[in-house]
Structure 1
Amino acid sequence: MPAYAVGHLHDVNVGPDVVEYLKRIDETLAPFDGRFIIHGGPVSVVEGSWSGDLIVIEFPDKDSIRAWYDSPAYRQILPLRTKNSRGAIFFMDGVSDDHKATDVLAGIPTMDQP
């Protein structure tokens, strides 16, 4: 099942370090079949508020994400981003193609269940 590396970044200083990071990240993703799904850009806010940039990278599974993130190639460029931005980075599993919204209720007690 696909899994995602998600970043919500703020205050990105797009200087020489970030440019270098951007030039090199794709080569770190390739061995782990990672690909950008969302990579910043304008958003159309329809509820609430938003600031920052959203980045979503898809991988075949969570093990692939961890292997990419811990790889020597990515670890070498990681400081180029972390020293020039702030934000949250997290990993999460995707859902199957036949996923329904109510699937998240499995195993969660509801008010009508004892």
Structure 2
Amino acid sequence: MLTYAIARLTVTRPGPELFEYLRQIDATLDAFDGRYLVHGAPIERLEGDWPLGDLIILVFPDRAAAQTWYASPAYQAIKPLRTASAEGDVIFVEGVAAGHRGADLLAYLDPPPSVPR
């Protein structure tokens, strides 16, 4: 299942560390078939209290590839450059299978509600 690495950076401090991180990160992704889907584009807040900042979404072929990339010596070597320059949250989340429907989630509820089709 495709796995997404999502970072919501609420504070960024552009400078030499961040610039060096950006110069090196692509090489760490290649070996794990990771790629950018979103990289810091402006967001449009529609509801809630989503803090302004930068949103980054990477995609990997599966959870193992994402975890192995994050733990890799190449990424761990540059991670301090990012953490010195940015603050926020980073998560992994798996996508859904092709054809997934919203009501499919009901099967995981206990007890499952009755849903008319």
1:110 deviates by 4.9
Tell whether the 8 Å contact from 2:21 to 2:82 is kept in structure 1 after alignment.
yes
Counterpart of 1:104 in structure 2 is 105
Deviation of residue 47 (structure 1)? Answer: 2.2
State the partner residue of 1:36.
36
Give the structure 2 partner of residue 80 of structure 1.
Answer: 81
Give, in whole Å, the separation in 2 of the partners of 1:37 and 1:57.
Answer: 6
How far apart, in 2, do the equivalents of 1:6 and 1:74 lie? 15
Higher alpha-carbon deviation: 101-110 or 17-26: 101-110
* Deviation of the 1:25 alpha carbon: 0.4
Query: Alignment partner of 1:80: what SS?
Result: helix
The reply on whether 1:7 has 2:7 as its aligned counterpart is yes
Report the counterpart of residue 53 of structure 2 in structure 1: 52
Matched residue count: 113
Q: Which residue of 2 aligns with 1:23?
A: 23
State the 4+ residue runs in structure 1 displaced beyond 3 angstroms. Answer: 110-113
Q: Deviations over 1:15-63 (max 9, x none)?
A: 0100100010000000000000011111222223431111100000000
- In structure 2, the residue matched to 1:68 is 69
